[in-house]
Amino acid sequence: MPTDDGARRRLTRLLAGLGVASGIALIARPQQVVDRLAPAFPASRLPLVRVLGARLLVQHGVALAVPDRRLVRVGSALDLLHAASMVPFLASPLYGRAARLSGALAAAYSSAALAVAPRSEGR
């Protein structure tokens, strides 16, 4: 666990960069991502994949630009809300795999981001 805020900001930016890359992939190549990770997910629902990608791009882009504790906490709360929203779909034959992956990644990111978040506000 990093001890100084400089290291914490670097780790926060690294996680945010991964989130930005994920968002870009979901926006630019939703079919390829779905085919690889959740092939049962209906092609007619790909706009939802792009919406998730846009949220990730904005959320993590903000954290990349301004890696402070308050913004990390807001982003983590959004990720936890997303993970909770996946619960009703976990057993679905069409949406279950996508819901499990998306929810688990959101919960994991939320935990990791909070663990490495800067202790103070600011850049």
| pLDDT by residue, tens only, the chain of 123 residues | 666 889 999 999 999 999 999 999 999 999 999 999 999 999 999 999 999 999 999 999 999 999 999 999 999 999 999 999 999 999 999 999 999 999 999 999 999 999 999 987 655
Whose CA is closest to 57, among 107, 22, 33, 106? 22
d(CA 111, CA 88): 21
Angle between helices 5-28 and 96-116 (to 10 degrees): 160
Give the global pTM: 0.90
Is residue 16 within 8 Å of residue 116, measured between CB atoms? no
Is residue 9 within 8 Å of residue 119, measured between CB atoms? no
Sequence-distant (≥ 6) Cβ neighbours of residue 120 within 8 angstroms = 5, 68, 69
Is residue 116 within 8 Å of residue 3, measured between CB atoms? no
